[in-house]
Structures are given as C-alpha cells and as structure tokens.
Amino acid sequence: MAVSYKELGLVNTREMFAAAIKGGFAVPAYNFNNMEQLQAIVMGCAESDSPFILQVSSGARKYANQTLLRYMAQGAVEMMKEVNPHLRFALHLDHGDTFELCKSCIDNGFSSVMIDGSKYNFEENAALTKKVVEYAHQFDVTVEGELGVLAGIEDEVSSEKSHYTQPEEVEAFVAKTGVDSLAISIGTSHGAMKFTPEQCTRNADGVLVPPPLRFDILEEIEKRIPGFPIVLHGSSSVLPKYVKIINSNGGALKDAVGIPEEQLRKAAKSAVCKINIDSDGRLVMTAICRQIFAEKPAEFDPRKYLGPAREELKKMIIAKNENVLGSAGKGKLIWGDK
C-alpha cells in the first residue's frame, strides 16, 4: 500500500528552497546508508537548527533495504520532535535513473526525487523528467532534474569526463519538464578524487589546488531562469584533515582533492540552494575508524569506533551548516511559528 510522506511528517523541498533563495544560503543534502550516519545528520542539523535533505541513492536503498530505510526516516522524524520540534526535513532519492525507481520512492514515503537523465540527449532527458514530474506532482512530491554531466566515479554514478551545462538549454528544459529544481555541471565532481593532479596547480606548500568552479556559467543560468532553485552535486571539500588521518593510519588516498569551501560559500549565496555532500561524511567515518583501529588494536565493540565516528561526523555537519552553507539557524526562520 502506498505511503504518503505527509503521513510520515516529512516535507518536500519547496518551502526550504524558497527560503534559501531569499536568504542567500543553501540547504545541505547529506547522504546516508546506515544508522550512525543518520543519527549524525539528524543531530548535527537539529543542533545547528538547519533545514536539511536526507538523501538516499539507489545503492543506499539496496544496501539498507528500502522498507527499513523508510522506517529509519520515519524514526528520524519522531526523534526530531524531541530534539528540535519545529525543524522539518525532506527525504530525497539521489540520482534516480528510471521512472519506475522514482515512482517506487514516491509510493514509499519520499518527499522529493531526483531523476537523473543526464546520460541521455536533451529531448530524451526532458521527456523522462516530465514523466516523473507529472507523477510526482499529483502527490506534491518535488522533483530535481539534471542538465550537464559531472565527472567522477561512485557505485551507481559514473562518468569519466564532465560536460558543463549549456546555459542556453536551461529555460526550455525547465519549461518543458516542470521540474522544481535543476542540478547543473559547473566543475564539481563526485567522489574523493575530484581532479587529476594534471588538472590542478600546486600552492607554495605543494598542496594541489583544483581548477575554480565556472561561476560565469552559473551567472548565465541565473540570468535565464531568475530565482529558480539550482543544485550542486559533487560538492564535498575532501577535507585535508581527514585524508591525512586516513593516510597516516594505513589508508591510501593519494591525490584526494575536493571543492574549496570559499567556492561553496560563494555558490550558497547565489541561486544554488541545495548542495550535495556524501564523500566528506565517508571520509570522516573512515578516518576515525582507522585511527581507533590503529591506536586500540584490541577494540572489537563496534560502538567504540562507530560512536566516535558518528560524533565527529556530527561536528563536521555543524561546521558545514554554520560556516559553509549558511543554513544554521534557518529552521526557526522557516518553521519557528509552526
């Protein structure tokens, strides 16, 4: 039987994106696959009073079981009532690649879905996206589409080369499909190795500096669809602190490089109102687990390494909300009187 996200106490992304555009901040979209990640996201956003999007990829859905995931999200709603009663959040399908997958999520309590038709040509992408929008909007579920291709390799999302979004296509895509937000490609990339050393320069300390994001493309897009919510995928900063802990405790993440925080700060002030972060959370958890395994080799209680990893992830999330996305404190502004 179908379950509506409204019955679960979730919200779609419309109200939070409107506030983000108006207030010059971006809503964080954090991916989760397990209980500790979910707890860190919920507690980090509750403590910093940040609207947020809980994001589930199709890989996460397979890993954690779709039914369990839905009840985990429902459990998070109940937990939120105890820790920050006015704060709301969305449950979003990340990189949905078929109509059937999007429909299944909509029928099972998701409040928002992404249909990623970026591997198709413009017409096929628009037709698939429109089909998802027509189904989703019957239930007031919001839909994110994508134009342009991001580079990067992950379980379910992969492309060797990026193709920037062509600004001249965005108006027609938005008008044809009726999407609620649009993911664009301006130089971000999925995963922890976002750029090859050849694509980067080195600073005086020999640290890799990635090529800057194409803010000129973003500005051109903003001119063509003013006030329309834009999404940035592949926006982890690959924080050097955690890469260093991983590598000094037996890891081998060579040439890991992410999107500098100043560039995300700048993007968050623009029409970019959703910023996707997955790899940074993975790196934090891996760093803390590796450190504990190295320092306490006799430890075998998962709570003793997953607990500290969860605590560090929560701290990272609070820091992102406060210092990078500017979303901290905005929960009260949007839902404080509800």
Rounded to a whole number of angstroms, the minimum distance from the CB of residue 149 to ligand 13P is: 13
Catalytic residue among 49, 94, 278, 280: 94
Segment lying near ligand 13P (by CB under 6 A), choices 243-251, 273-281, 299-307, 322-330: 273-281
Question: Is 94 annotated in the active site?
Answer: yes
Q: Rule CB under 6 A: say whether 278 interacts with ligand 13P.
A: yes
Q: How many helices (H) and strands (E) does the chain have?
A: 14, 12
Kindly state the greatest CA–CA separation across the chain: 60
Segment lying near ligand 13P (by CB under 6 A), choices 125-133, 169-177, 214-222, 276-284: 276-284
Of 59, 260, 307, 308, which lies in the binding site for ligand G3H, with binding defined by CB under 6 A? 59
Q: Rule CB under 6 A: say whether 115 interacts with ligand 13P.
A: no
Contact predicate 313/40, CB 8 Å: yes
Nearest to 282 by CA among 324, 318, 246, 333: 246
Is residue 230 helix, strand or coil? strand
Of 233, 290, 314, 320, which lies in the binding site for ligand 13P, with binding defined by CB under 6 A? 233
Contact predicate 251/207, CB 8 Å: no
Rounded to a whole number of angstroms, the minimum distance from the CB of residue 225 to ligand G3H is: 23
Q: Rule CB under 6 A: say whether 277 interacts with ligand 13P.
A: yes
- Contact string (CB under 6 A) for ligand 13P, positions 56-75, x = contact: --------------------
Closest CB to ligand G3H among residues 120, 332: 120
DSSP structure class, residue 197: G
Rounded to a whole number of angstroms, the minimum distance from the CB of residue 233 to ligand G3H is: 6
Contact predicate 144/231, CB 8 Å: yes
CA distance 232 to 113: 15
Strand 272-277, strand 201-202: pairing? unpaired
Length of the chain: 338
Q: Which listed option, ligand G3H, ligand 13P, Zn ion, none, makes contact with residue 155 (CB within 5 to 8 Å by class)?
A: ligand G3H
Contacts with ligand G3H by CB under 6 A: the residue count is 13
Q: Which helix (H) or strand (E) holds 62?
A: helix 58-64
- The residues pairing with 151 across neighbouring beta strands, listed in sequence order, are 189
Of 233, 310, 320, 330, which lies in the binding site for Zn ion, with binding defined by CB under 5 A? 233
CA distance 230 to 244: 32
Could you tell me where the beta strands, DSSP code E, fall in 185-332?
201-202, 208-209, 230-232, 272-277
Contact predicate 91/122, CB 8 Å: no
Q: Which listed option, ligand G3H, Zn ion, ligand 13P, none, makes contact with residue 59 (CB within 5 to 8 Å by class)?
A: ligand G3H
Q: Which listed option, ligand G3H, Zn ion, ligand 13P, none, makes contact with residue 60 (CB within 5 to 8 Å by class)?
A: ligand G3H
Cα distance from N-terminal residue to C-terminal residue, the chain: 30
Closest CB to ligand 13P among residues 56, 306: 56
The residue ranges that bind Zn ion (CB under 5 A) are 233
Task: Summarize as ranges the residues that interact with ligand G3H (CB under 6 A).
Answer: 31, 57, 59-60, 94-95, 154-157, 190, 233, 278
| Active centre residues (catalytic) | 94
